[in-house]
Every structure is written in structure tokens, then in C-alpha cells.
């Protein structure tokens, strides 16, 4: 069906309707292309952030010191009694130093996990959260420890305290 307008211009009425879906498809493609671009930019930003955090951890994270170090390991049991152990060691991490304390009467046991050892027993006294509602907490120079025994760096002159604590 053709319609004629003044001035001799004519157009087919059926030809105008297919333009609308084509226009909408192009609009959808442009929107999808913009969304895809935003997702790619977001993923790239996330990868860059992870890389920056990894570099910061590597540069500024806890580092062990090598060489002869004098440390003290304290154990505060459930009754509040404190036992001190002095050690001269070349250990880089606390767990290695704890292994060296065996000849002084210090002993420990625990469960291995992907994060290191979860200390459950020190000098024969058990502190398992699930059964005893208690745990062995680690303090470094009086401050609550930020690492486990496997990853706690040993620094000359530091005092490492294992304290029996009841869960709140």
C-alpha cells in the first residue's frame, strides 16, 4: 500500500514498521556492548587490585629475621600459673622455636590444617574449643598475636605467650 503526499513524495506504509525493530535491535546491541565493556573494565580493575595487594603483602608483610635470637616463651595455664622458657635460636618462625623447647620440658600438640597448626594442648593441658569451651591464644609482647605458630616470625628479644582462655 502506497500513500502519496503533496509534492509527489510517496512511501510504503509497510516499510516503516520493519525499521522500528531494527532500531531497537541496534539499541540493544549498543547497550549490551556498553554493559560488556563495563564488566571487562570491572574485571581488569579487580585483577589490578589483587595484584597491588599481593605486592603490598610481599613488601610490607611480616618477615622473619635470620641469625641468633634470644626469645622467651611463656605458658599461662588454666589456673593462671606462668611458666617461662628462654631460648637462643636461629628459628625463623615460632613453631620451629617451640620444637627446640622440648628439652626444657615444653610440649605441644594440635591439629594440622591448611592454615598451619591449631594448638590444642600445651604441657599436657588441653584447650579444645569444641569440647572444653577454651582455647590457647598467642600473645606477642603482650599484644594479641596476628599470626599462627607456623607463620609468626621470631624476633630477637620478643616474648611469646600461650595463654589458656575460656571462650566468651
Please check whether residues 54 and 96 belong to one and the same domain. no
pLDDT for residue 12 is more than 90: no
- Across the range 24-32, mean pLDDT stands at 68
Please check whether residues 86 and 156 belong to one and the same domain. yes
Percent of the chain predicted with pLDDT > 70: 77
Residue 21 C-alpha cell reads as: 525493530
Task: Render pLDDT for 34-59 as a digit per residue (tens, 0 to 9).
Answer: 778 888 888 899 999 999 988 888 88
Task: Render pLDDT for 73-96 as a digit per residue (tens, 0 to 9).
Answer: 999 999 999 999 999 999 999 999
Q: Please choose, from the candidates 108, 100, 117, the residue with its C-alpha nearest in 3D space to the C-alpha of residue 154.
A: 100
pLDDT for residue 156 is more than 70: yes
Instruction: Count how many domains the chain has.
Output: 2
pLDDT for residue 112 is more than 50: yes
Please check whether residues 76 and 120 belong to one and the same domain. yes
pTM above 0.85, yes or no: no
CA of 70: how far to CAs of 2, 109, 131, 157, 159, in Å?
A: 100, 24, 36, 5, 9
Which among 35, 60, 85 is the end of a domain?
Answer: 60
Residue 37, domain extent:
2-60
Listed in sequence order, the residues at least 6 apart from 154 whose beta carbon sits closer than 8 Å to its beta carbon are 64, 65, 69, 71, 89, 91, 92, 93, 94, 96, 97
Amino acid at each position: 500500500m502506497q500513500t502519496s503526499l503533496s509534492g509527489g513524495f510517496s512511501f510504503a506504509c509497510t516499510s516503516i514498521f520493519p525499521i522500528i525493530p531494527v532500531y531497537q535491535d541496534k539499541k540493544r546491541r549498543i547497550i549490551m556492548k556498553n554493559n560488556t565493556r563495563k564488566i571487562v573494565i570491572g574485571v581488569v580493575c579487580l585483577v589490578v587490585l589483587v595484584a597491588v595487594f599481593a605486592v603490598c603483602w610481599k613488601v610490607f608483610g611480616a618477615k622473619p629475621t635470620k641469625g641468633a635470637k634470644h626469645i622467651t616463651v611463656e605458658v599461662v595455664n588454666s589456673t593462671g600459673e606462668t611458666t617461662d622458657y628462654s631460648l637462643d635460636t636461629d628459628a625463623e618462625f615460632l613453631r620451629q622455636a617451640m620444637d627446640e623447647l622440648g628439652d626444657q620440658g615444653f610440649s605441644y600438640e594440635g591439629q594440622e590444617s591448611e592454615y598451619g597448626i591449631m594448638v590444642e594442648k600445651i604441657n599436657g593441658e588441653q584447650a579444645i574449643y569444641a569440647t572444653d569451651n577454651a582455647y590457647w591464644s598467642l600473645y606477642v609482647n603482650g599484644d594479641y598475636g596476628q599470626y599462627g605458630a607456623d607463620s609468626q616470625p621470631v624476633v630477637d628479644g620478643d616474648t611469646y605467650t600461650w595463654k589458656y582462655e575460656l571462650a566468651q
